[in-house]
Structure 1
Amino acid sequence: MDFYVGLGLSLRQTKRALKLAYNVSPSAQTIQNWTVSLAHRLGPKIKDLDLPLSGIVAVDETYIKVKGSWHYLFTAIDGKNGCIIAQHLSKHRDAKGAITILKRIIDQYQGQDFVLVSDMAPIYRAAVHAAKAFLKTDVDHNRLKDFLLMMIIQMRFTDPIKTSLSVSLAPIKLITSVIKALVPLMVLLLI
């Protein structure tokens, strides 16, 4: 599981890694079956975990195929440590899906303040407005570009060594790699 899920290797790469590391060679289908079995066993327990929340939540959606039909997978990730806070699978990219994912984030934070970072799509603006109106929650909503610029400025004043853009983009690259590695597992949990 460390090779396939944790490192985001393909099934064939995982098969080769297991052969090199442990001198065992299960088939790719066996590795996939292990993943499905683990997902079904861990699924109910994941909701009970205390997630380390940093106060920064990055939200985005991606278009994926589930059982032959296309859906949007809304994902909320902690902006500092990269753990997945909430996910929602929807047939449409609409305000209803954005409101659902925002409600799950608010429930996870249990009244604590957080900063929501997104691409400022109209669906997220509508979700933040709905949260203020109906959930009585004030959400600080920032655009991804503005948030990255703010991080770069803060890094220049706090640590002059870390001024390069590549260092500033490291958390975003981590979030992207975590999503790519965990989407197959999370889709299995949602099915």
Structure 2
Amino acid sequence: MNSIISVLIVYNQFLLSQIQKLLLFIVKNIPIKSPKWDFTSPKYNRFTVDQLPVIKKFDKLDYKQLLKEYKAIYGKDKKPVKSRGKNPVPENCICPRCGAPHIYLYDNTGGRGQLLCKVCDLRFTRAKDEFKPVTFVCPYCGHTLQKKKDRKHFNVYKCVNDRCSFYLNSLKKLSPDDFAEYQHDKYKFKLRYIYREFTTDFFKIDLSTMPKGATGLTFRNFSPHIMGLCLTYHVNLGLSTRATARALWEIHQVKISHVMVSNYAKTAASIVKPFVDNYDYKPTNYLAADETYIKVKGIRHYVWFVMDALKKSILGYQISNERDVGPCILAMRMAFSKFKEFPGKAFKFVSDGYSAYNLAQQQFELHNMKFDLTQVIGLTNDDPVSTEYRWLKQIIERLNRTFKFSYQVTNGYGSGEGSNTHVALFVAYYNFLRPHSYTYWRPLNSLAELDTIPNMPGKWQKLIELSQQFILSQQTA
């Protein structure tokens, strides 16, 4: 018995010594704190949007006027520069900002290229004497951004300062494996501050464009009721133009071609669109945005929707052949125009994680329209933001499914005008004619003139009449 106890004691001491060695190994080799680098791949930084740069604006000046002002203040003329260096300023060199001649220019760096104007205090390079009224400066280090790339709608500026805090912090976040890959393939990573300057002003583009190919409302062979029937079958029931023409013949014994159905749709879209786009929806402070794809002549296009998440009305929409920031801004402009007074930080704008919405937010900030952008990323609630705002994203996804129901029967659009026509009519139907469970199976926006009409073709005719009255009132105003 004593021998067994002594063996157990020795074995316990052996186990304790092993445990102590394991603890020492853990303390020496496994740090308690998490590593400095982020486990998220830094390659995704290419899809992020950095904050706005510091924008310095310089006005074009006249050196003669500045010299007169100097003499009026100090009572004497400003003396020219006495050049004592080995590299005098050439006689053909002038200040790009005020036009001062070479006698008022300092060689500021001992012949290395930089000059200083004594009249307006501008520093510029001798080789690049073109005056830039706007200069972009990095908000982290204060260095001037350099233009690197020319894109279709914007120019890319980058901070190339190796001591920039943004660049140094990005380097620290790299894991050893990512840092080794960065040394070999730097183009795969975005570690420096980048700003995109848009060359197209999307805030001056007309939002009320009319579709081409529309016909007049002179009904020679058919009545306005036939046009209402065409819109009911084509828009409400989601039939194609050929199926609509066949339904009119088989049900109503009306012989009409699918081309005439298409012309009626284009005419209705051109008339109804101004009324729908300028209606006072009285939007709430919760907006949701998303984009979905369509096919036009077999090529992928995109439809952008911005809707009131509480009242369910579509406030902004746009069709584009590219999934970039331009149409995103146009759809958001159309939605924001529904506010009589822009609410700013008081309302929530919810979208997915696509970076075009971040770029659009930056452009609105430049036009003094600041708001909070909330991005719901992924399909599951893996973070507090997704958990809180998932319901807003689901509402806009439900709208996309409703739109796809009317789109899928067309097997893609045959032209750009056809896609614009169909989307405009869909928005008019969705906002003013379609019954919704949210409003107890009534339209989202009730019009007194439509409530007394019992059938849908008559409602379409009345909506077109109201739109005509709106257009006439706008023209007389």
Cα offset for 1:171? 6.6
- What is the SS of the residue equivalent to 2:338? helix
For residues 106-121 of structure 1, the aligned pairs below 5 Å read: 106-109=336-339, 110-112=341-343, 113-121=346-354
In the other structure, the counterpart of 1:103 is 333
Higher strand share: 1
Instruction: Note if 1:141 corresponds to 2:377.
Output: no
The 3 A distance-change label for structure 1 pair 3 and 80 is farther
Give, in angstroms, the shift of residue 186 of structure 1. Answer: 6.1
> Which one scores higher on RCO, CA 8 angstroms, separation ≥ 6?
1
Equivalent residue of 2:350, what SS?
strand
CA contact (8 A) 2:308 2:314 kept: yes
Aligned match of 2:260 in 3, 7, 30?
30
Question: Which string of whole-angstrom CA distances, capped at 9 and with x for unpartnered residues, describes residues 50-71 of structure 1?
Answer: 2253443332234456689765
Paired residue secondary structure (1:108): coil
Instruction: State how 1:139-178 maps to structure 2 within 5 Å.
Output: 139-143=372-376, 145=379, 149-150=387-388, 172-178=397-403
Q: CA deviation at 1:10?
A: 2.2
Shift of 1:134: 3.6
How many residues align structurally?
Answer: 176
Q: Aligned partner of 1:76: which letter?
A: V
Query: Contact 1:18/1:24 (CA < 8 Å) preserved in 2?
Result: yes
Measured after TM superposition, the shift of residue 38 of structure 1 is 1.0
Secondary structure of the structure 2 residue equivalent to 1:141: strand
Q: Does 1:127 align with 2:127?
A: no
Q: Could you tell me whether the CA contact under 8 Å between 2:296 and 2:419 is conserved in 1?
A: no
CA offsets 1:67-122 (integer angstroms, 9 cap, x no match): 89765443323334543211234453323332333233222233234432322201
SS of 2:317's equivalent in the other structure is strand
Aligned to 1:51: 281
Rounded to whole Å, the distance in 1 between the matches of 2:405 and 2:352 is: 18
Q: TM-score, normalised by structure 2?
A: 0.31
**Equivalence for 1:9:** 239
For normalisation by structure 1, the TM-score amounts to 0.65
Q: Is the 8 A contact 1:56 1:79 kept in 2?
A: yes
Which structure's CA Rg is the greater one? 2
Structure 1 vs Structure 2 CA RMSD: 3.9
| Cα offset, 1:127, TM superposition | 1.5
Find the residue that maps to 1:93 and give its secondary structure.
coil
2:272 counterpart of 1:42:
yes
**Partner residue, 1:181:** 406
Q: Secondary structure at the match of 1:61?
A: strand
